[in-house]
A and B are shown apart, each in its own frame.
Chain A
Amino acid sequence: DIVMTQSPDSLAVSLGERATINCKSSQSVLYSSNNKNYLAWYQQKPGQPPKLLIYWASTRESGVPDRFSGSGSGTDFTLTISSLQAEDVAVYFCQQYYSTPPFTFGPGTKVDIK
């Protein structure tokens, strides 16, 4: 199975500042035949289910604010919140959906306000 890691475990950012979360997979999740990275990002607020933010590593889900962006390829990926808002306090998870299941999640990164 592909192992996903994330860094940092948690971070605190001032309102309006940038937050950056890293995700690394134990093997490439880039499918050469279509040049797509099979990597998604989810946001989970306390007491709520996860919400899909980004898929194909950089495609925002409909309705997701453009302050959220994803980048990276192969085994190294980044989720960036360009200007942190109070409602962005949450835990963020990456997930690979490459090849066959199980489609493993990263351990999560908690984002708080400084």
Chain B
Amino acid sequence: EVQLLESGGGLVQPGGSLRLSCAASGLTFSTYAMGWVRQAPGKGLEWVSAISGSGGNTYYADSVKGRFTISRDNSKNTVYLQMNSLRAEDTAVYFCAKSRWTTVTLFDYWGQGTLVTVSS
């Protein structure tokens, strides 16, 4: 059974940084692209970033480009989201999700999410 466990969320001041981690189990990790989707309180889903199975291709939403960096360590079955220059509008639950295939595409498994709050 595929399981995704996010960690690293918390309260951070505007302009600060945070690194989210997502540990995956129950799958051949390097075979699948992975991604992050966020949901602001009471709002809809926003696609944030994704990375191919090899890590060679990365993609970002315009709203986070230049501030967030996605990476993965296939030896640790973990994907990361480094978030810098955080803003109040980045406050959200961040979900880690597994892509259906090696290339970035739809997400078929999701973690429970980790809450990031950006506030002074």
Q: In the complex, A61→B37 CA distance in Å?
A: 20
Q: Is A77 an interface residue (CB 8 A)?
A: no
Which secondary structure characterizes the binding site on chain A?
Answer: loop
B residues 78-113 touching A (CB-CB < 8 Å): 95, 97, 100, 104-108, 110-113
Q: Name the residue on A nearest B99 (C-beta).
A: A97
Complex interface residues of chain A between 94 and 114 (CB less than 8 A to chain B): 95, 97, 100-108
Within 8 A of B (CB), among A27-82: 38, 40, 42, 44, 48-52, 55, 61
A52 to B45, CA, bound (A): 13
Closest to B58 in A: A101
A residues near B24, Cβ cutoff 8 Å: none
Instruction: Tell me how far the C-beta of B109 lies from the nearest C-beta in chain A, rounded to whole angstroms.
Output: 8
Report whether A49 and B60 are in contact in the complex, using a CB–CB cutoff of 8 Å. no
Within 8 A of A (CB), among B9-62: 37, 44-47, 50, 59-62
Q: Are B44 and A103 in contact (CB under 8 A)?
A: no
Count of residues in A whose CB is under 8 Å from the partner chain: 25
Closest to B6 in A: A49
Determine if A108 and B106 form an interchain contact, defined as CB atoms under 8 angstroms apart: no
B110 touches which of A1, A50, A102, A108 (Cβ 8 Å)? A50
Q: Which single member of A1, A38, A55, A93 contacts B44 (CB below 8 Å)? A: A93
Q: Is the CB of B106 within 8 A of A95?
A: yes
- Chain B residues within 8 Å of A55, by CB: 100, 106
- Once bound together, how far apart are the Cα atoms of A18 and B71, in whole Å? 43
What are 11 contact pairs spanning A and B, CB under 8 A?
Answer: A38-B105, A42-B45, A48-B112, A50-B95, A91-B44, A97-B106, A102-B47, A102-B62, A103-B47, A103-B106, A107-B44
Please give the residue numbers on chain A whose beta carbons come within 8 Å of chain B beta carbons, in ascending order.
1, 38, 40, 42, 44, 48-52, 55, 61, 91, 93, 95, 97, 100-108
